[in-house]
Chain A
């Protein structure tokens, strides 16, 4: 059994008296694609935010490559290899697509360089352009991000996440609000990305989850209800009862 790349131990986050995430223990193997599903308010997004360091847990631990990273800020986890993409599209609207990606490629570690001209840095430019080509936005690289369609903005976000070269990619509803064609192309892109990285996806669309994920974790009221392969989850009556809101009988 290989050591998990990212693991949570009894991870808990309370908002007032509500435990949005309640003692969740997960272990992600390197290269795994993990889906997280559950009804609205099950704590999926909160769990992802905790794993990315966007918010701090009330209790429990997060281990990355065996090291305790609980409570570390998001920017530090991002630099170490855990990168999150958001449920609501988050790009730099008034910068061009190229600038959006370039500001990531140039590297936050170099942010204390006050003098060098990034616009003249060939290697940075070429890498940013290659990433845009990969998500199909090369032709629009000089357009400001606000001028892109919703689906294109989500692809731009994926390019920005990939620019970090993350080991673990946390995706919060990557296909939210997309058209059928955009979902199709996003799935192709994610399948391609999944070959090299560990991915955690929170998603409502079952075909996306069933297609991409090797394992699925079902959350309900902040707790893990079930975990298994897509087939096992599909077959589970308990999951069906809770997730599909059906009461049997």
Chain B
């Protein structure tokens, strides 16, 4: 007998899910600052969730391991910070500017790095990242060097005669929550589009994707540009929150955060970056508050990371998703036997 699993069940999402996902995401975003001890922590989680969402498009869905995404995160921060200091602190200007800067930088860096594959690609992204770091380090007059960029005015949203200042962490959180909601829904859509499925085909087997007519270089470049633009947006949002740009936003350790969070949450899963950011930033906060640990927290985060990778080989959310799929198969198999 023919295996009776209608393809629509597995390929097309059931209508219910069209409502469940946005509703669950909304609930999460509303509850997050209430459950956590302070709003700045919730905001920090969303900044890193957005950074990793962009990173995950490249790493988790296209299969390209970049070690240089701090370049785009930092570039977004410096763009927003410098604009706020010299021109306008209106988010409607600084955020698109940061996204644009990230996209252009992504196109340039991607164009060169994507000439090489595998480890060489990764090392070239690292090199470009470090290049930007040292430029910011040396160019004191503009960037403030290792003192960072200080005296950034409070960001505000100005639409016509109405102005909303993003003074408190809660204000910034509201903006972040709205953008996170839009970004995750947009990415979900993107991933099931012809473009998104083509990227996943490249991740699975680039030669095969090319043999069936996909211009893999151009597709990878676009994935790189989108990923960089998203990372820059996260960088700009971080400035609204901190009102300061640290040189470390360009440091390779920041690139490492994106890698860690994505792997921790589950590379190649939509919600992995959100879950990973929650776990990573949350842990960091808990550990650094313990008096006996304080500045030794990275050691313990590293330790927990190793444990997590061993326990959840596909990341926290990735492993959960796999269990869920297996469960659904079992339920549908049982249902068929009963019926």
Contact = CB atoms under 8 A, between A and B. Distances in A.
A111 B195 contact: yes
B7 interface: yes
B285 interface: no
Interface string B17-49: 000000000000000000000000000000000
Interface string A80-119: 0001111000111111101100111011111111111111
B7 A104 contact: no
Interface stretch (A71-79, A176-184, A196-204, A214-222): A71-79
Contacts of A90: 205, 207-208, 211
Nearest to A132: B7
A125 interface: yes
A223 interface: no
A108 B213 contact: yes
Interface stretch (B8-16, B75-83, B292-300): B8-16
B190 interface: yes
Contacts of A74: 210-211
Interface stretch (B88-96, B129-137, B214-222, B231-239): B214-222
A96 B10 contact: yes
A111 B219 contact: yes
Contacts of B291: none
B197 interface: yes
Contact of B197 (A91, A106, A115, A163): A106
A191 interface: no
Contacts of A84: 211
B212 interface: yes
Given A90-B208, A108-B212, A95 B201 contact: yes
A142 B194 contact: no
A: contact size bracket: 35 or more
A160 interface: yes
A132 to B, nearest CB: 10
B208 A91 contact: yes
A112 B11 contact: no
Nearest to B2: A139
Given A95-B204, A98-B7, A118 B194 contact: yes
A223 to B, nearest CB: 27
Nearest to B8: A125
Contacts of B205: 90-93
Given A119-B11, A142-B10, A164 B213 contact: yes
A141 interface: yes
B86 interface: no
Given A98-B11, A163-B212, A117 B198 contact: no
Most chain B CB neighbours (cut-off 10 Å) among A54, A75, A90: A75
Contact of A78 (B10, B11, B212): B212
Nearest to B188: A117
A54 B207 CA distance: 9
Contact of B204 (A94, A106, A163): A94
B11 A125 contact: yes
Contact of B208 (A92, A109, A141, A142): A92
A85 B5 CA distance: 30
A85 B211 CA distance: 8
A160 B212 contact: yes
B204 A93 contact: yes
A73 B219 CA distance: 15
A118 B12 CA distance: 9
A205 B170 CA distance: 71
A114 B192 CA distance: 9
B193 interface: yes
A161 B212 CA distance: 7
Contacts of B193: 113-118
Q: Which 5 A-B pairs have the closest CB atoms?
A: A92-B204, A108-B213, A78-B213, A90-B208, A79-B213
Given A93-B205, A114-B193, 8 more contacts: A75-B214, A75-B216, A78-B212, A111-B215, A114-B190, A115-B193, A119-B192, A140-B3
25 contacts: A73-B210, A74-B210, A75-B211, A75-B214, A75-B215, A84-B211, A86-B207, A92-B205, A93-B204, A99-B197, A107-B213, A108-B198, A109-B213, A111-B195, A111-B198, A112-B195, A114-B190, A116-B193, A117-B193, A118-B194, A118-B197, A119-B11, A119-B192, A142-B5, A163-B212
